[in-house]
Amino acid sequence: MVGVRGLERANRLLEHSYLVINLLVSSEAALHEAESKARGYRLTGRESFRPEYGDAVARAGQHSRRLIELTADNPSQQALARTFDADVQRHLSTMEILLDPVQMAALPEDERQRRISDNVRRAASMSVLRREMMDEETRLLGERQVTSQHRATLLVVFIVLAFVVALGLLVFMLWGLWRENRRSRRLELDARNALHDLHALSEQRHAQSKYAGMLQSCQTREEIVALTTRAVVELVPGASGRCYLARPSQNFLESAGTFGDHPISHDDTVTQDDCWALRRGQPHHLRGRSGGLRCAHIDGDAPLDGMSTLCIPLIAQGQSLGMLHVSAPSNTSVGDNDAAILASLSEQMAPALANLQLRETLRTQSLRDPLTSLFNRRYLEVSLARELQRCERRNLPLSVMMLDVDHFKRFNDTHGHAAGDAVLSQVGRLIQAGVRTEDIACRYGGEEFTVVTPELDADSARIRAEQIRKAIEISSVQHMGQTLGPVTLSIGIATFPANGTTPELLLQIADATLYRAKAEGRNRVLHASQTA
């Protein structure tokens, strides 16, 4: 804006100089025209020269006065302009007198000559003044032309610089917008990835929560293993492996389930020394062939390059319950996050196994006699009613045996209670060994035992009972280095439906038959259908 205003001011000054020069030239031309018209009028007397002379005089006066106005910004020039205007006015006045014949005739000759001479000198003086003013204005014109050109050049340079700066600013703004747009896209992508990760994490947490909830409802070790393997496949896609569980009272782990397409742990059984995780009691992570120590249970022919394996011990309450082995390609699974997920699953699986084992132990203790390991009377009552209903629906027989150790009170008094317990324990083992898997052997109370034999009729039941009686009769009981014996049994049998149709009646009849057997001499088998 400043450059434009400076150029405008320089151009106005330049225009002003041109106008002053033009007025000087015009005033000279007007004076010459007035003199020419005056001479023509004096020589010819033609009246047509008179108005033309008047016009030229008027223009000459206007030009000289206009020069005074235009040179107001330059005192030296204005002084010359005022002198020039005064000379013009006097010169025109003298010309007016010389033009009038009456006035010229009234003047003496010498006065006329003097005025003519003065007018000639004044014309010469005006010419000098005009030249001085012309020279000064020409000098100013040159300076102003240089100034105008300089300011025009500066303005062009300024415009070019402004354009370059504006272009640079535009480029910078466009670059800033592009960078901000790229940053915005990157932030949007990061936000989208974070949202995806958050959604995946939420899905993982939901799956783990669902797994934990269902884990509490599992009733068997097989259900726990099946649920865990499904959870591993869902949470760690591409993973393969095996789940090993410890066998009670045995120093090895047995494969309880596999998952995935390529499990590389090939052994069905694993000892404590076969796995580094079991030895150390903490997860063992192997990355590739050279990523750590290789467990012995991993297939020796399996290519480990590009593979990642993880062994996690299942430990609860200081007891090793099993081991979870997982393998997958290194570029897809079993990373740090996946290892944490698997560790979390294992931490939930181990207590569930321990709780199930505890429930089984408590259930066994509540249903079995601790001395003989046979089922107790409570279990007998529940099972007999269930089996009786099943046989009744299928129109099958069922036999109930009541067994009693002969002369047990006398034996107990003679050898002591510890020896009596040894006898009962031995009898319980022999009874359990003499029955089928589907039969129910119970300790009814004291030295009395009960055996429920589903689907056995009277004859088959007598044969089975006789086998048990003989096994007891020929056995010997060792207690504190002594052989105790002989031990014999009396057995009474009742069969459904011939001898009764309810559990209570069958037990009652079998018990009565047992006492008949004792009354008839002991160490014998007697069926309720047999007569004395």
pLDDT digits (tens, 9 = 90+) for 85-107: 777 777 777 666 656 655 555 66
What is the pTM assigned to this prediction? 0.54
pLDDT, tens digit, 9 for 90 and up, residues 447-466 = 999 999 999 999 999 999 99
pLDDT, tens digit, 9 for 90 and up, residues 465-502 = 999 999 999 988 887 777 777 889 999 999 999 999 99
Is the CATH number 3.30.70.270 carried by domain 368-527? yes
Can you list the alpha helix ranges (DSSP code H) found in 325-376?
336-367
Whole-number Å distance between alpha carbons of 293 and 287: 10
Q: What is the CATH number of domain 2-162?
A: 1.20.120.1730
Share of the chain above pLDDT 90, in %: 23
Band (pLDDT 50/70/90 cuts) for residue 333 is very low
pLDDT at 528: 94
Decide if pLDDT at 263 tops 70.
Answer: no
User: Strand order of the sheet with strand 448-454?
Assistant: 440-445, 448-454, 398-405, 489-496, 525-527
The domain limits of the chain are: 2-162, 221-365, 368-527
SS3 317: coil
Once rounded to an integer, what is the mean pLDDT over residues 45-51?
71
pLDDT at 276: 84
Active site residues: 447
221-365 sits in which CATH class? alpha beta
Question: Three-state SS string across 256-312, please?
Answer: EEEECCCCCECCCEEEHHHCHHHHHCCCEEEECCCCCCCCCCECCCCCCCCEEEEEE
What 346-349 contacts at long range (C-beta under 8 Å, 24+ apart), as own/partner pairs, is 346/312, 346/313, 346/314, 348/208, 348/211, 348/212, 348/215, 349/215, 349/224, 349/228, 349/314, 349/324
pLDDT at 331: 59
